[in-house]
Structure 1
Amino acid sequence: MSKHHVDPAAVPPETEDSAAEELTYRLRQQQLAAEYGAYALRTHDLGALLLEATRVCAEGLHSRFCKVMEYLPDEGSFILREGVGWRPGLVGHARIGADLESPTGYAFQTGTPVISNHLDQETRFRTPRLLAEHGIRRAINVLIQGDGGRYGVLEVDSPTEGRFTQADLAFLQGFANLLGVAIERHQGEDALRTSEARLREALAHQEVLRREISHRVKNSLAMVAGLLSMQKRTSSDPALEKALDDAVARVTAIAQVHDRLWRADEVDSVTLADFMGEIAQQIRATAHPGQTLSCDFAPVSIATDQAVPLALLVNELVTNALKYAYPSGEGDVQVAIAPGAPGRLRLTVSDQGRGLPPGFDAEASDSLGMTLILGLSHQLRGRIDWQDLRPGTRFTLDFAMQRKAGA
């Protein structure tokens, strides 16, 4: 808001008959109030709002002194929050009592404006020391409040002889009402910023906890895999060694899937192509020379709750194919996840190897690997189809896609 210079004509009229002077004076007050309203809309600094309000009100009532007295409920008194004309060091520190014996306290507690044009002759109130020390002879006080409650008092004081009128009171009260709205807006914005800051802190803390828990889960799974490997080294039973190798591979796969998820920025969903691409890369790292894995994953997002069993299922199918489809140890396994019917995905894992054994029945199999494949497929609520390609085998799972957790 620009600094205004008082128009020489826009001063309090000397007599009640000075109609032209009165009109000029009141029009100037309206102009000041309108300009301050525009300033308040674009300013978000409460201190600047209060200071400008006191400057403009002092100008509007042709005085050197104006102040905003903020009520401090814990102290039961007012603090000179902002003002113009006062000696250095008083703004932000000076206190005034809030009892009914002071004009400021009376205006605040009763909500009734106070005009006192002769403080030295005042019988209704005592003159606060702050006013006496500055030689204040007359004062006008109005309540500042918004819908959320009372903030304090807006007061214009003058050391000169003269009078504040009901028209002056109307100007100051209207200004205080405008100031009350501006303060309330600022308090609302401040509360919102505080809430947002607390929310950011809570989310950051939650993220730290999530990462810490995930890190501990990963370490725990790694410990389990290590214990299984130690048990294998003490065994002389080939069948047990093979079972323990399979167990280590599965626990490691679960740890890798978990590690991938907690490192992702998304919590409720993952990008299928990126997520499964990393899982496939981890499988390739464990394959024998001459074994290859070809992948094609749709660039869609699915729920994390669905991505975990899907990744474990792919890991089980692909490792089984690499292990059993090619007795020579060389060959390619193809895995694809592509859109099927609307809202559905189709997982396909195929090879050109030895094919399914005679009389193959997945439901009747007692192998742990097949039990895991069936269990994970049922968890995805999909329809399974095994095909003997001669040569090779194709596994297909058709399932509904979840785009986020709980969908």
Structure 2
Amino acid sequence: MASDGSIRETHEAGTGRAELPYRLRQQALMGAFARMALQTRDLDALLQRASELCAEGLGASCCQVLEYRARDHAFVIRACTGLAPGLVGTDVTAGDEATPASYAFRTGAGVLANGIHGGAGAPQDGARFHLPDILASADLCHAVNVPIALGDVSRRAYGVLEAWGREGHGFDRADQEFLAGFAGLIGIAVERHQGDARLRDALDHQVQLTREMSHRVKNSLGVVAGLLRLQARDAHSDEVRHALEDAGARIATVAEVHDHLWRGIHQLGMVELADFLRELVAKLQEEAPGHALACEADPKVISADQAIPIGLVVNELVTNAVKHAYPQGTGPVRVSLAVRADGLRLAVRDEGVGLPPGFEVSMRQRSLGLKIIGSLIRQLDGRLTTAADGPGAHFVLDIPLA
């Protein structure tokens, strides 16, 4: 009986290659591909690199990754090396089981088919195969094919990884195992890609549901605000009318945030604060004809949980200025937002009669508006101060950001 050493020597003489360096090179190529598979999410690039490395590791004339498409029982060439680049995306029938790829996919087993000539041959596994039409003119006569299996419960196959060689470059079982190792790594990458796609679809669906919910909340709040304004018109006292109008304005401010949430293109639950404040001040301008309301704001995306209390503070301060700053007429009210290293600085100022003597924002306030402001500032973990830097009242709110 021939020894393993003599068998190896005979094999090396027949193939013209040194067996040990050849196998070590295959291991190195598989390791390089495994690292790439962990680092990239680009499936097309990964499949193309797999075909290149498999062809290199086997000394094959060509190698291709075939994805099975069930709806028309066909393979799609997803990547190829050694063939015309334009073949990527081409359909190949999967119904002809006399081709190695179709046989490997149906049986779920690797196929060695050395010595295919003239449309037929006698491969090592006993089956008889022929060249597929797409390779018929490529002077190929050796093939090795392995299915690309997925690890889900169904154990379905993604497709086939196959390599073809010309005369004098037959493949052996170790080559088949090398190709099977690559197919396993490809299967893992495909599963990850499909899982990512499912997660993206689920996230997109969740985003759509959340935006739809925000849109409906905004519409519902708008109806409530409208009803309060309508009720205010029929109020029998100024006190009740003002209370209803103020309540409607507060609800409209919250509705404005939800309007930004469903229309926004930002991360789920986030609001562009500058756009929100400008639109809020524009809405308040409609309720304060004759006053010149203006807003200057640095761009900043924040969560809706922060945007709502900030908007309510602006609503209270601007509404208070409109009501009390100009008892004999109208005048300007300016809102500004600056993004600082330590957070946000929001300022609301007017040029009216100013704050009453002895006013301190830290003191316990009797008016509902100032009580609301105090509660909102605690919610924001902010600090409200007044600045005596000119005519009128000047409120400054500093808000830390995580």
Q: Which whole-Å CA distance do the structure 1 matches of 2:175 and 2:199 have between them?
A: 36
**Contact conserved, 2:253 with 2:308, CA < 8 A, in 1?**
no
Q: Does 1:44 pair with 2:47? A: yes
Whole-Å Cα distance in 2 between the matches of residues 202 and 399 of structure 1? 35
Deviation at 1:187, TM superposition (A): 0.9
Deviations 1:245-288 (A, max 9, x none): 11111111211122123322223544443332332233233321
Pair 23,330 (structure 1): closer, same or farther in 2 beyond 3 Å: same
Give the total of aligned pairs: 329
In 1, distance between residues paired with 2:312 and 2:95? Answer: 76
Q: Percent identity?
A: 34
Instruction: Give the aligned partner of residue 212 of structure 1.
Output: 212
Alignment of 1:67-106 (within 5 A): 88=96, 90-91=98-99
Deviation at 1:207, TM superposition (A): 0.9
- Indicate the SS of the match to 1:392: coil
Partners of 1:319 and 1:390 in 2: how far apart? 20
Going from structure 1 to structure 2, the CA distance change for 1:263 and 1:143 (only over 3 Å counts) comes to closer
Question: Distance in 2 between the 1:222 and 1:266 partners?
Answer: 23
CA distance 1:397–1:52, change in 2 (3 Å) = closer
C-alpha contact (below 8 Å) 2:235/2:241 kept by paired residues = yes
Q: Is the 8 A contact 1:146 1:181 kept in 2?
A: no
**What is the CA–CA distance in structure 2 between the aligned matches of 1:348 and 1:46, rounded to whole Å?**
57
Measure, in 2, the Cα distance between the counterparts of 1:218 and 1:256. Answer: 7
TM-score by length of 2: 0.62
- 1:311 Cα deviation from its structure 2 partner: 1.9
Q: Kindly tell me: are residues 212 and 367 of structure 1, through their superposed partners in 2, closer, same or farther at Cα, counting changes over 3 Å?
A: same
1:378 match: 378
Letter in 2 for 1:338: A
SS in 1 for 2:292: strand
Structure 2 portions without partners, runs of 5+:
1-5, 34-44, 63-76, 78-93, 113-124, 130-142
Cα-to-partner distance string for 1:230-251 (whole Å, 9 max, x where unaligned): 4334432332122111111111
Q: Is the 8 A contact 2:95 2:102 kept in 1?
A: no
Question: Residues 67-122 of structure 1, C-alpha deviation per residue, up to 9 Å, x if partnerless?
Answer: xxxxxxxxxxxxxxx9xxx9945447669998xxxxx99x99xxxx9xxxxxxxxx
User: Which residue of the partner structure matches residue 309 of structure 1?
Assistant: 309
Aligned 1:134-283 pairs, distance under 5 A: 171-267=171-267, 269-283=270-284
C-alpha distance 235-147 of structure 1, shift in aligned 2 (>3 A) = closer
**Secondary structure of the residue that 1:44 maps to in structure 2?**
helix
Q: What residue is the counterpart of 1:348 in the other structure?
A: 347
DSSP-derived class of the 1:213 partner:
helix
Per the TM alignment, residue 214 of structure 1 is displaced from its structure 2 partner at its CA by 0.3
Residues 355 and 388 in structure 1, CA contact (< 8 A), matched pair in contact too = no
Q: Aligned AA for 2:311?
A: A
Distance change in 2, residues 1:388/1:93 (3 Å): closer
**1:305, distance to aligned residue in structure 2 (A):** 2.8
CA distance in 2, matches of 1:281, 1:392: 21
Output the CA distance in 1 between the equivalents of 2:14 and 2:299.
Answer: 72
1:286 counterpart letter in structure 2 = E
> What SS class does the counterpart of residue 328 from structure 2 fall into?
coil
Provide structure 1 residue ranges, at least 5 long, that are not aligned to the other structure.
1-15, 61-81, 99-103, 114-126, 133-140, 157-166
Give the drift of 1:337.
2.2
Once the two structures are TM-superposed, the CA of residue 222 in structure 1 deviates from its matched residue by: 1.5
1:285 aligns with 2:275: no
**Cα offset for 1:199?**
1.3
Deviating more after overlay: 368-377 vs 386-395: 386-395
Contact 2:350 2:393 in 1 (8 A): yes
Pair 1:192–1:207, CA change in 2 (3 A): same
Aligned mates of 2:95, 2:389 — CA distance in 1: 96
Cα drift, residue 179 of structure 1: 0.7
TM-score by length of 1: 0.61
Q: Is the 8 A contact 1:335 1:348 kept in 2?
A: yes
What's the RMSD between the two structures over aligned residues?
Answer: 5.6
Greater displacement, 327-336 / 273-282: 273-282
Post-superposition offset of 1:26: 3.1
Q: Give the equivalent residue in structure 2 for 1:23.
A: 13
The amino acid across from 2:188 in the alignment is G
The 8 Å contact of residues 149 and 187 in structure 2, kept in 1 or not, is answered as no
SS at match of 1:296: strand
Cα offset, 1:217, TM superposition: 0.9
Q: Indicate how the Cα distance of structure 1 residues 383 and 26 shifts in structure 2: closer, same or farther if over 3 A, else same.
A: same
Deviation, 1:325, is 0.7
Query: How far did residue 183 of structure 1 move?
Result: 0.8
